[in-house]
């Protein structure tokens, strides 16, 4: 029926004319015509005769829009015979509408969890947006002492390595944490 009404609309008939031709109420035709733009999952349920009225199909479309697991939620609407009633579909939609999306938790740096009274004397907290220069030194693979800047925002898959920008040739290298010696930490302008 949906495909037939869709074809009649494409051929230039309006909903009032279609209702008169089929002997149906215009509101009924309007609901059926609205289903022509239904989600594929809902159209399949209609084709399989699991849904028998336009209002239930519209509820199923709403479920598809709100669901994160469409197949599971549409299956929850079915009774033991595989049919979907308006009440069961509405119950699933009501459940989905009660689910409030969780806001992502704000990540708080360790330093920001401390109170000022917990800081050692002579220390202060640097604002989160402020860049720090962390100068380090280490021995490279030839045993030569090398200086560089720690790049704390570049993380390795290995938890025992850090990235360092070498001062001498401006290359970024991975260095084992146990080889690093911190020389100075300073705020960058």
Give the side-chain half-sphere CA count within 13 A for 101.
5
Q: Which residue has the tokens 């704390």?
A: 152
Nearest to 52, CA basis, from 37, 24, 32, 26: 32
What percent of the chain is predicted at pLDDT more than 90? 26
C-alpha angle with apex 35: 95 to 93, nearest 5 degrees? 0
- Selected residue with higher pLDDT from 163 and 189: 163
Q: Is 34 exposed, middle or buried (0-12, 13-18, 19+ CB in 10 A)?
A: middle
The four Cα atoms 105, 109, 115, 119 give a dihedral, to 10 degrees, of 170
C-alpha angle with apex 188: 143 to 108, nearest 5 degrees? 95
Tokens standing for residue 16: 């009032």
For residue 169, pLDDT over 70 is answered with yes
Q: Is 37 exposed, middle or buried (0-12, 13-18, 19+ CB in 10 A)?
A: exposed
Q: Is 161 exposed, middle or buried (0-12, 13-18, 19+ CB in 10 A)?
A: middle
Sign of the dihedral defined by the CA atoms of residues 11, 16, 17, 22, in that order: positive
Sign of the dihedral defined by the CA atoms of residues 26, 19, 59, 36, in that order: negative
Task: Name the CA radius of gyration of the chain, rounded.
Answer: 32
Q: How far apart are CA 26 and CA 139, in angstroms?
A: 84
- Collapsing DSSP to helix, strand or coil, 137 comes out as strand
Looking at every residue in the chain, the average pLDDT score rounds to 85
Give the model's pLDDT for residue 149. 92
Give the model's pLDDT for residue 182. 93
Q: Stretch 133-159: mean pLDDT, rounded? A: 88
pLDDT, tens digit, for every residue of 69-125?
Answer: 999 999 999 998 889 999 999 999 999 988 766 777 777 777 777 788 887 888 787
Domains, the chain, with CATH or none? 2-98 (1.10.10), 131-187 (2.30.30.150)
Band the pLDDT of 1: cuts 50, 70, 90: low
pLDDT, tens digit, for every residue of 18-42?
Answer: 888 888 888 878 877 777 777 888 8
């Amino acid at each position: 029926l949906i495909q037939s009404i869709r074809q009649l609309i494409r051929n230039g008939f309006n909903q009032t004319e279609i209702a008169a031709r089929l002997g149906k109420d215009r509101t009924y035709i309007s609901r059926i015509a609205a289903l022509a733009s239904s989600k594929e999952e809902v159209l399949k349920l209609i084709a399989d005769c699991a849904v028998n009225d336009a209002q239930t199909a519209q509820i199923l479309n709403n479920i598809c829009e709100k669901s994160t697991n469409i197949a599971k939620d549409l299956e929850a609407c079915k009774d033991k015979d595989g049919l979907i009633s308006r009440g069961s579909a509405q119950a699933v939609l009501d459940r989905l509408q009660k689910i409030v999306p969780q806001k992502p938790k704000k990540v708080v740096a360790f330093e920001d969890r401390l109170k000022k009274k917990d800081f050692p004397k002579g220390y202060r907290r640097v604002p989160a947006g402020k860049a720090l220069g962390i100068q380090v030194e280490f021995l490279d693979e030839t045993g030569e002492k090398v200086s560089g800047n720690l790049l704390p925002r570049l993380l390795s898959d290995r938890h025992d390595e850090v990235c360092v920008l070498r001062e001498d040739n401006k290359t970024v290298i991975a260095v084992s944490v146990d080889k690093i010696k911190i020389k100075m930490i300073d705020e960058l302008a």
